[in-house]
Chain A
Amino acid sequence: MSFCLDTYLQQSDNYEIHASKAGFKDCAMIIRFKADDLVYIKPGDEVLGVRVIGIPPIPIGFDHEKGTVFLPYTKPCHGTSVVELPIDEDEVEKIRKLDTGNKK
């Protein structure tokens, strides 16, 4: 069965919230600041089983030392959060393939 972020966040406590109920731009800035490696994807691209919501270019960050990913997570009533959770190399490679290279 493939990984699903929504299910993971409901059933695991092995993740960290770096911002919550924030605006998308603030969350994008936090990801750029926290991560040591970044890729930029389009809105609607699928990461960890969910379509990522946001304003392009959407940063997805990695901390390779910790083996984690930072991504924005948006809900209609709760705004955008930055979630950091463990990720394996296969998923990192899948996300790299989505990189638009557009940082503006």
Chain B
Amino acid sequence: MKALVLLGCPETPSQTPMAVYVFNRLTKMGYDTTIAANPAASKLVKISDPEGLYNLNLVDLERTLGEINEGDYDLLVGFVHKDAAASFFVTFDQILQTKSLALVFSRDADEVAEFVTMIEESGSNALIAAVRAFHNPSPIKVKFDRAIKEFE
């Protein structure tokens, strides 16, 4: 089983610890997990694991977009905290046609609702876990832990 984790723009503090958390959880669930991120988001995650304890498998987001095909992954998990991140998630979801989970969060409740609507209106069948959060990753962790049980 293979899982792809999509990271968005790195300017939200809770994304990096949650990326490591999600990677670890999916790996323990038996997924061969890959994190796709832009160079800045990727560096934040990589430096968070200096000893390589998690064996984080990081790849370039845009190169991955150019290379993936339907069925390449069994699960897609996306961090959606910006308009662009919603667009990226919907695009990967549409190409892969696989099970998917969108972790939608923002410091602004209206933005959370807007990003959820974008995903829903795209026709995606993704499970959406949405919460108001920015600095503190705990609300996202709680939502993720609950949502990922659907894929066990």
Q: Is the interface of A mostly helix, strand, loop or mixed?
A: loop
**Nearest-CB distance from A62 to chain B (Å)?**
22
Stretch of B21-29, B44-52, B89-97 with 4 or more beta carbons under 8 angstroms from chain A = B89-97
* Alpha-carbon distance A11/B87, docked complex (angstroms): 26
Q: Is the CB of B87 within 8 A of A80?
A: yes
Interface residue tally for chain B (C-beta within 8 Å): 26
Q: How large is the interface on A (under 10, 10 to 19, 20 to 34, 35 or more residues)?
A: 20 to 34
Chain B residues contacting A42 (CB-CB under 8 Å) are: 94
Question: Would you list which residues of chain A between 20 and 79 have a CB under 8 Å from chain B?
Answer: 23-25, 42-44, 50-56, 74-79
Chain B 17-50 per-residue mask, 1 if CB under 8 angstroms from chain A, else 0? 0000000000000000000001011000000000
Q: Is the interface of B mostly helix, strand, loop or mixed?
A: helix
Q: Is the CB of A43 within 8 A of B83?
A: no
Q: Is the CB of A24 within 8 A of B94?
A: no
Q: Is the CB of A54 within 8 A of B66?
A: no
From A43, A54, A75, A79, B95 is in contact (CB under 8 Å) with A43
Contacts from A to B (Cβ < 8 Å): 23-25, 42-44, 50-56, 74-80
Between-chain CB contacts (< 8 Å), 23 pairs: A24-B86, A24-B118, A25-B118, A42-B94, A43-B90, A43-B95, A51-B65, A51-B95, A52-B91, A55-B86, A55-B87, A55-B121, A56-B90, A56-B94, A74-B87, A75-B84, A76-B61, A76-B84, A77-B9, A77-B10, A77-B38, A77-B40, A80-B84
